[in-house]
């Protein structure tokens, strides 16, 4: 996989909505992938022989406009690709407040290629919040990233976003299903 971290961060501003208020959710099984309350890592692992995390970049960075309430302060931005049997399926972008990063009880800053979900879903202190979804067109950095993965974006993409509460801080995790994932999920509908 020929991916460069020169363009990090790849994330784009996305308009998320609550699935409860939406009548235009996709059909199953894509809807199940979007709304599964459990760890996406676990679901992906169960869908392949070999699961990999490729870190595109991790750095203190200002969030995107409107991405979170503290958009003026830097947060730890982690962007990864989650691959199934060598094929990138998910682009994930996570925002971690500095206060959590500095907490010696957690190793978010040194995760490397360990999936974030192994931390988020294995701590009684971390509470997963509600899931939001988005269907969007991209012609920006995300589209360029997909093209560099030999997955040209020819249709809208679907993604989900979730807040994870820790003490009085929030970790924001967004996951975008890349074209290869969409094709496979829809093929097996
Ligand atoms: C939040 C989870 O962790 C996954 C792994 C991520 C990572 O390693 O950066 C980011 C988002 C998720 O797809 C999960 O497994 O649900």
Distance 115 CA to ligand 1 centre (A): 5
pLDDT for 146 equals 95
Q: Once rounded to an integer, what is the mean pLDDT over residues 118-144?
A: 94
The residues lining ligand 1, judged by C-beta closer than 6 Å to any ligand atom, are: 39-41, 53, 78, 80, 82, 90, 92, 94, 115-117, 120, 173, 175
Q: What is the 3-state secondary structure (H, E, C) of 132-168?
A: EEEEECCCCHHHHHHHHCCCCCCCCEEEEEEEEEECC
- Using CA atoms, how far apart are residues 172 and 185, in angstroms rounded to an integer? 25
> Residue 82 above 70 pLDDT?
yes
* Residue 185 burial (CB count, 10 A): 21
Q: Which atom of ligand 1 lies closest to the CA of 42? A: 15
- Using CA atoms, how far apart are residues 21 and 140, in angstroms rounded to an integer? 28
pLDDT in tens, 88-98: 999 999 999 99
166 is in an annotated binding site: no
- Judge if ipTM > 0.90: yes
* Residue 55 burial (CB count, 10 A): 16
Q: Which atom of ligand 1 lies closest to the CA of 43? A: 15
Catalogue all structural domains in the chain, each as residue range(s) with its CATH number.
16-187 (3.40.1410.10)
Q: Once rounded to an integer, what is the mean pLDDT over residues 63-81?
A: 87
Distance 126 CA to ligand 1 centre (A): 14
Whole-number average pLDDT of the chain: 92
Distance 90 CA to ligand 1 centre (A): 9
Atom 9 of ligand 1, nearest CA residue? 116
Confidence of residue 76 (pLDDT cuts 50, 70, 90): very high
> Residue 2 above 60 pLDDT?
no
Q: Once rounded to an integer, what is the mean pLDDT over residues 150-175?
A: 96
Q: What is the 3-state secondary structure (H, E, C) of 70-111?
A: CCCCCEEEEEEEEEECCEEEEEEEEEECHHHHCCCCCCHHHC
49: Cβ–Cβ under 8 A, 6 or more apart, which residues?
85
12 is in an annotated binding site: no
Q: Once rounded to an integer, what is the mean pLDDT over residues 12-31?
A: 89
Given a contact cutoff of 8 angstroms between Cβ atoms, the answer to whether 90 and 79 are in contact is no
pLDDT for 72 equals 66
Phi and psi at residue 122, to the nearest 5°: -130, 30
Q: Which atom of ligand 1 lies closest to the CA of 39? A: 16
> Residue 1 above 60 pLDDT?
no
Distance 113 CA to ligand 1 centre (A): 11
pLDDT for 132 equals 96
What pTM, to 2 d.p., does this model score? 0.95
């Amino acid at each position: 996989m020929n991916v460069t971290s020169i363009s990090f961060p790849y994330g784009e501003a996305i308009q998320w909505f609550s699935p409860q208020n939406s009548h235009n959710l996709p059909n199953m099984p894509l809807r199940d992938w979007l709304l599964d309350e459990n760890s996406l890592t676990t679901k992906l692992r169960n869908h392949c022989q070999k699961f990999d995390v490729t870190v595109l970049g991790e750095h203190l960075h200002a969030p995107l406009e409107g991405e979170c309430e503290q958009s003026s302060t830097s947060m730890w931005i982690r962007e990864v690709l989650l691959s199934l049997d060598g094929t990138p399926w998910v682009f994930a972008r996570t925002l971690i407040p500095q206060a959590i990063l500095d907490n010696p009880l957690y190793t978010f800053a040194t995760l490397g290629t360990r999936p974030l979900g192994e931390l988020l879903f294995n701590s009684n202190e971390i509470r997963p919040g509600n899931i939001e979804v988005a269907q969007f067109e991209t012609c920006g950095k995300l589209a360029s990233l997909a093209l560099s993965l030999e997955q040209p974006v020819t249709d809208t993409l679907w993604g989900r976003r979730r807040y994870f509460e820790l003490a009085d801080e929030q970790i924001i995790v967004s996951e975008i299903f890349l074209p290869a994932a969409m094709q496979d999920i829809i093929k097996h509908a």
